[in-house]
Amino acid sequence: MRKYIQEVVTSPYKIIAIDDDPGILDSLNVVLRRNGYSLVTFTNPVDALEELKNNHYDLLLLDFIMSPLHGDQVVAEIRKFDKDLYILLLTGHKDLAPPLDTIKQLDIQGYCEKSDNFDQLLLLIESGLKAIEQRKTISEMNLQLEDANDKLKKSYLDIVQSLRATVEAKDSYTRGHSDRVSAYSVLLGKYLKLSDTELETLKIGGLFHDVGKIGIPDTILLKNGKLTDEEYAEIKKHPQIGVDILGDSDMFKDIIPFVKYHHERFDGRGYPEGLSGENIPYIARIAAVADSFDAMSSRRVYRDSLPTPVVREEIFKNLGTQFDPEIGTVFLDIIDNHYDEIQEIKDKYQ
């Protein structure tokens, strides 16, 4: 095995060459060094693979016919741990090059016939490095865009959080309600065996489901007594107000069904659209159970909290009418057999 390392170069890119012919490597080393490129060379492909696993390189010049591994076998191994390495295949004759399908399948960017004239190879190397530079620029731009989006998302979340806090600050009886609904929804989602992504949607949806109440007058929200039909009509506007606050932002698109439809009923007698059965989004059917459980088991301005057996009975009586029977049954099982998890949420967000 031979290994050459160019110490003074003008190009920032690192190139590695693998060829079992030392003479070819000597020539490559001289030509590339003369053109300002750093080059590390190997005659043994097995040793080269170990080097590539442990160190970063931008471009690989690879002989095709080698021992103990051919070039396509080397590339297959490389692609197991490095999908980005730019690879130029060198062949002694074009008839010895691998089939075009193999080149595409292994993501080999190009190949060049070996020659005493290195002009074509230098052009391919220059073209490859430009492609690498463009890919690097695009990657950096994407990272900057992600960072900007993250900052925008945080600012937006902070604003909505402030609105949510304002809603709950109006009424000491409902303080912690959104946090509990969020936690109950996630708990129910876990027992329904939902994915982590779906659980995250339930978590955020629960936190923001009542943000629309910021647009409901305090005289209605804090009324100590039965609401008139007109007042109830105003209350029923809060899901749509919440949707309007969250807007068309992509960051909230997954939680919109939770916010908009958490007061729909399985029998179609809910609001705002009177959806029924499976026409109600699944997360909204989960929300309905979690929201109702907390409403019944928490103190309100017009009544004290209801005992857990009473709340359980209300949920049971309304399976198939107010609540999705499958989802409601799972929550009843949590009450009966895992109440310690419910109590933990109550203690945390009381």
Which of 114, 140, 166 marks a domain boundary?
140
In-domain check, residue 1 = no
**Which of 98, 118, 140 represents a domain boundary (last residue)?**
140
Angle between helix axes 282-297 and 196-208 (nearest 10 degrees) is 50
| Residues 173 and 95 both lie in one domain | no
pLDDT band for 120, please (50, 70, 90 cuts).
Answer: confident
Domain identity same for 81 and 206: no
Element of type H or E holding 210:
none
Q: Quick one: pLDDT at residue 313?
A: 97
Sign of CA dihedral 253, 254, 260, 261: positive
Residue type, 65: I
Query: What pLDDT, on the 0 to 100 scale, is given for residue 4?
Result: 46
Domain identity same for 172 and 312: yes
Nearest alpha carbon to residue 204 among 94, 264, 287, 125:
287
Instruction: Please say if the pLDDT value at position 2 is more than 60.
Output: no
**CATH code, 65:** 3.40.50.2300
- Does 331 lie in the same domain as 311? yes
Tell me if 242 is assigned to some domain: yes
Q: Are residues 288 and 337 in the same domain?
A: yes
Exactly one of 80, 154, 203, 213 is catalytic; which is it? Answer: 213
| Residue 220 or 290, more confident | 290
Position 6 in a domain: no
Do residues 120 and 209 share a domain?
A: no
Mean pLDDT within 151-165: 73
pLDDT at 99: 62
136 is catalytic: no
Residue 250 lies in a domain: yes
With beta carbons less than 8 A apart as the criterion, state whether 178 and 210 touch. yes
- Please indicate, yes or no, whether residues 153 and 295 belong to a single structural domain of this protein: yes
Q: List the alpha helices (DSSP H) in the chain.
A: 22-34, 45-54, 71-78, 100-105, 119-170, 177-191, 196-208, 218-221, 229-235, 238-246, 256-261, 282-297, 308-317, 325-337, 339-348
What mean pLDDT comes out for the span 100-115? 75
Ordered alpha helix ranges (H), 40-89: 45-54, 71-78
In this prediction, residue 318 carries a pLDDT of: 97
pLDDT band at 133, cuts 50/70/90? confident
Listed residues 72, 106, 140: the one ending a domain: 140
Average pLDDT of the residues in 317-331? 97
Q: What is the pLDDT of residue 282?
A: 97
pLDDT of residue 92: 72
Distance spanning both ends of the chain, measured CA to CA: 70
pLDDT band with cut points at 50, 70 and 90 for residue 40: very high
CATH number of the domain that 208 lies in? 1.10.3210.10
Say how many domains are in the chain: 2
Three-state secondary-structure class, residue 292 = helix
Which range (21-35, 110-124, 284-298, 319-333) has the least confidence? 110-124
**Could you tell me the pLDDT band of residue 171, with boundaries at 50, 70 and 90?**
low
What span, in angstroms and rounded, lies between the C-alpha atoms of 173 and 168?
A: 8
Burial class (CB in 10 A: 0-12, 13-18, 19+), 234: middle
Q: Which tokens go with 63? A: 């002989």
pLDDT tens profile 303-320: 788 999 999 999 999 999
Q: Which class for 10: exposed (0-12), middle (13-18), buried (19 or more C-beta within 10 A)?
A: exposed
Whether 202 is covered by a domain: the verdict is yes
Which residues contact residue 251 at a Cβ distance below 8 angstroms, ignoring those fewer than 6 apart? 153, 156, 157
Q: In the structure, what pLDDT confidence band is assigned to residue 5 with cuts at 50, 70 and 90? A: very low
If asked whether residues 254 and 341 sit together in one domain, one would say: yes
31 within a domain of the structure (yes/no): yes
Q: How far is CA 78 from CA 8, 17, 65, 105, 116, in A?
A: 28, 14, 17, 13, 28
Same domain, 135 and 154: no
Question: Which domain range does residue 87 map to?
Answer: 14-140
- Same domain? For 26 and 81 the reply is yes
> Within a domain: residue 115?
yes
Helices (H), 35-118: 45-54, 71-78, 100-105
Read off the pLDDT of residues 332-347 as tens digits, 9 standing for 90 and up: 999 999 999 999 999 9
